[in-house]
Structure 1
Amino acid sequence: MSAPEKTRHAGLEDLLARPLWETVFRRRTHRVSRGASVPAGSMSYTSPHQSMPLGELEEAVLIALTGCSGLSMPDRPFEDPRDHKPIMAKPNLNMVGRTAGSPDNAQGTHFFLINDSGTYYLRKLPPSRQAAFDPDALIERARQSKVRVLDHRLDVAEGMRDFPAYLDSNRFLSNLAGTTLFLPVVDLSHQYINALMYLLTQPDGARPTLVDDRNFYRPAGVRKWVKNGFLNPDLKLPLGALGPMRTQIEADLLLQNMMLAADAMGLGAWIHASLSPQIALGDPKFSRTYGRMLGFDFVTPRFRPADILRWQVPLPKYADLRAHPVGLRAGGEHLIKCACPPNHPSMEDAVDSVVRGKFGKGGIYEDQDVFTRIYKNGYAQRYLTEAGEYDQQVIDCARDICVYIHATHGRFPAHTDAIHVPGVWLQTHHLESEYYERFFRDGLTDAHRRHASRWHE
């Protein structure tokens, strides 16, 4: 890839010219940031430097990797080749593309950026019409995306870095002054509903009967759908087997992309165990000790005697064992809003909101302009007309399953959290170069050695 004409920044030009193959095979984790010291016996090292935060453009490049990268392509069949019957061909929750894929383009991953100036939620921006690699454009979009949620670095109080806050040696090098961290959290709820509907678009005889493995494998609100023949009673699928619907995979892929880019820029990059997710989000089980932290909204289901067997919750006072995050608000605005109560008055409304977001007024499959920008020669309208949508039976059956889950277990989803936290974050930083030169063969790449001259002169 060659640098666009508008790019007049030596660091960006270096990044765009670096071969992907070299970046992948030379990638190594670099844990030691500028200004950090390493107590390691005879290999102990004390830095003579002050910490050095990333520059605005350096952070902006990495922020760009979390966001929109254009429009995706609905390149899927519309009919079953065996009998030419139409099949559902509009599974996506988004049509804008991202730098990593996600199931049904759900894009449930949200990022927080943590640096010396505070902790920020990174808002997803619409596609940009500006040059993707123009320094000024990158910086401006990064500024637009950042929503400050804390005026300090997300961390526990001094002296509290032991487990469960931090894991083992990570506490000595993770989240130090001068470092920038990217923490992903994944809203599973919208794709959980969407994926249920997609699952139920299978042909006759291949639609499974959902059963509840946390309720003695009873039908999960689908008795009438088994009785009327819509679901196959001999093909049983436990709700627990669905897990997070693979929606969490996007976060891992995005982190890998960001790590490769940071390494190619000549920065240190380290994916590792984050601050404990329950502590970081403000789980009520930990907030008395560590504070509200990010301050997510949590739902704690009302204790029911059946929870003793279903969830091994022995007494009402332990009900918060099943608390889970359902959203985040800042300045009166919902930054993350899961598709479940209390964000919606009922699960019926939550399911209907997902359907409206796809096929209702203003939904993604009602926006012909978007598809005109994807297709050429008039094929946009053909796709919108010919590609199948969810049958009403599919929507109604999925709604019954979701209503059952919330009514039975007091939360949605029940077998996984509405917001999944992978439990890892990416730390990027300027390297303590002398440390790597002193102790390691091939400890630095050319990109690391020339980073200062390309990015800071």
Structure 2
Amino acid sequence: MTKKGLASFLDAPLARTLWNRRTKRVSRGSNVVAGSLSWQSQNERSSLSPLQEAILIAATGASGMTMPDRPLFDDESGDPIMSKPNLVMEGRTAGSPDNAQGTHFFMINDSGTYFLRRLDPMEGGTDNWTPEVLLDRAEQAKVRILDRRIDVPGDMRDFPAYLDSNRFLSNTPGSTIFFPVVDLSYQYINALMYLLTQPDKARPVIVDDRNFYQPAGVKKWIKSGFLNPDIKIPLGALGQMRTQIEADLLVQNLFLVTEALGLGGWIHAAISPPVIMGDPKFSDRYGKMLSFDYVTPKWRIMDLLRWHTLPIAAAKHLRAHAVGLRHHGEHLIKGKCPPYYPTMSDAVDAVIAGKFGPGGIYKDKALFERIYKGDFGDKYLDEAGEYEQDVINCARDICTYIHKVHGRFPAHCEAIHAPGVWLQTHRVENEYYDTFFENGLTATQRAHDQNWSS
């Protein structure tokens, strides 16, 4: 019954899908109050099929293996360079700095609110896609967080929960929504170390722009000559280490999948991240929502100058940030920072262990046999450079400084970042678009019902 729809999706041409991509906000069964352009739907609400959701879930996950196609040595000096920056080797449908893959997705529909686990990539990729395989993997990925569509009460569907007119068409019955969050903490540590692998005289001094541009725990590394005081980078300029970009790319890919399925898609402002994630600044009013773990740094007198905060009740949670997510005792997202680790030194050690420890990815020969032909995987593991101990120790000092001085890690961005957008996908109110717009529907959207019901 659904094989025709899957086949039409797999045969969808990229160029046509890309050029036809347009926002379609009005889902099947929705009314629009817009003066002369008002619309009263005659249709029932209609959800996505399980297979359509399974295809979208697959698009958020691993899609195969990456290739370490980088040089191992400096082409002028011949010196070894650090050439094992990746945090994982499984690739996704969008790129990621150092393949950090910090983006996690929640899926929201009429049956509940789900966290999506990332599964190992399927052997053979789309060649092995069948309805049965996709549906089975979707069930493996889904962790039901709530037995309902997450939302705020109807009389609270205004700012700061929803933004302006979004509240009328966003998160509607029948729609399926994908909400991304990004664990920045893991790659923050990894990227600091990668930054410190620059050649002699090219390693920057990290300074703290929230503490009068003082060295961020690296004075001894300046004195030893390991860091070059003529090159300074503020922690604020490092920001999110670009790790947040991967979520934007993945959401765009999901939109293209939506288009190729003949569905309507809409990237727009989500329920405000502090509201939906359960920030203590908003939980009294809206409840815990997704129930992320939050850390609120203890106020210290220097915070007056560093963060312009006061020791008053109204400012108590101003610097609170999400650090992870637990469900029924299981860590679904675990930031590389306290309280999950006793110290930041322990968190750095966990990052190193995940890469180079006994169970680390760069000790897994079988993994690289899946990537390379013959014995090239063994050669790569033997010859490619790793982090030197000075690099690890310097990064450890920076991370320890950040947590000690500012009471949280990271301090200049969140441990768990939400871009503040989500993708809503739904069956389209075809008659609305046919009534008001030239070329309102694509051929794929017109053929949707026939493809997915026969």
Cα distance in 2 between the residues matched to 1:362 and 1:110: 23
Aligned partners of 2:392 and 2:435: how far apart in 1?
62
Partner of 2:123: 129
Contact 2:402 2:409 in 1 (8 A): yes
Q: 1:242 to 1:147 in 2, by over 3 A?
A: same
Counterpart check, 1:19 vs 2:16: no
The Cα shift of 1:252 comes to 0.5
SS at match of 1:156: coil
Residues 132 and 111 from structure 1, CA distance in 2 versus in 1: closer, same or farther, beyond 3 angstroms?
Answer: farther
CA distance in 2, matches of 1:151, 1:308: 43
Return the match for 2:431 from 405, 427, 434. Answer: 434
- Counterpart position of 2:366: 369
Paired AA for residue 300 in structure 1? T
Structure 1 SS opposite 2:317: helix
Question: What SS does the corresponding residue of 2:48 show, helix, strand or coil?
Answer: coil
Matched, 1:286 2:286: no
The aligned residue for residue 393 of structure 2 is 396
Aligned-partner Cα distance in 1 for 2:394–2:189: 11
1:85 aligns with 2:51: no
Once residues 232 and 319 of structure 1 are traced to their aligned partners in structure 2, the CA distance between those partners, rounded to angstroms, is 39
Which SS does the other structure have where 1:374 is aligned? coil
Partners of 2:54 and 2:330 in 1: how far apart?
A: 24
Q: Any residues of structure 2 matched to 1:18-97 within 5 Å, and which?
A: 18-97=12-91
CA contact (8 A) 2:203 2:226 kept: yes
| Cα deviation, residue 178, structure 1 | 0.3
Report whether the alignment pairs 1:448 with 2:434: no
Identify the match of residue 403 of structure 2 among 396, 406, 430: 406
The SS at the match of 1:65 is: helix
Give the Cα separation in 2 of the matches to 1:99 and 1:121. 19
The TM-score, its normalising length taken from structure 1, stands at 0.98
Query: Of 286, 309, 314, which aligns to 1:313?
Result: 309
**Deviation string for 1:158-209 (max 9, x for gaps)?**
2101111101110000000000000000000000000000000000011000
Matched residues in 2 for 1:91 and 1:132: separation? 31
Q: How does 1:18-417 map to 2 (within 5 A)?
A: 18-129=12-123, 131-317=127-313, 318-417=315-414
SS class of match (2:444) = helix
Residue identity in the other structure for 1:329: R
Is the partner of 1:70 in helix, strand or coil? strand
Number of aligned residue pairs: 451
Residues 93 and 104 in structure 1, CA contact (< 8 A), matched pair in contact too:
yes
In structure 2, C-alpha distance between the alignment counterparts of 1:12 and 1:203, rounded to whole Å = 51
Q: State the TM-score, normalizing by the size of structure 2.
A: 0.98
**Structure 1 Cα separation of the partners of residues 243 and 129 of structure 2:** 29
1: CA distance, partners of 2:298 / 2:426: 44
Q: For 2:51 and 2:389, how far apart are their aligned partners in 1? A: 49
Aligned-pair distance for 1:8? 7.7
CA contact (8 A) 2:157 2:167 kept: yes
Distance in 1, matches of 2:328 and 2:336, equals: 21
Give 3-state SS (helix, strand or coil) of 2:349's partner.
Answer: helix
The superposition leaves residues 298-352 of structure 1 with CA deviations (integer Å, 9 ceiling, x where unpaired) of: 0000000100110010224313100000011101101000000001111010000
Q: Any unmatched runs of 5+ in structure 2?
A: none
TM-align CA RMSD: 1.0
Mapped partners of 1:456, 1:306: distance in 2: 64
Identity of counterpart residues, as a percentage?
A: 63
Q: Distance in 1 between matches of 2:406 and 2:36?
A: 55
**Unaligned runs of at least 5 residues, structure 1:** 1-6
AA aligned opposite 1:212: D
Q: Conserved in 1, the CA contact under 8 Å of 2:295 and 2:322?
A: yes
Tell me how far apart the structure 2 counterparts of residues 280 and 456 of structure 1 sit (CA, whole Å).
35
Within 2, Cα distance between the matches of 1:8 and 1:51?
Answer: 20
Instruction: Give the match's secondary structure for 2:188.
Output: helix
CA distance in 2 between partners of 1:127 and 1:67 (Å):
8
- Aligned match of 1:3: none
Cα deviation, 1:143-168, whole Å, max 9, x if unaligned, reads 00000001111111121011111011
**AA matched with 1:417:** E
| Residues in 2 aligned to 1:378 and 1:79: alpha-carbon distance in whole angstroms | 20
Q: Distance in 2 between matches of 1:13 and 1:191?
A: 38
Paired with 2:343 and 2:402, the residues of 1 have a C-alpha distance of 12
Q: Name the amino acid aligned to 1:367.
A: D
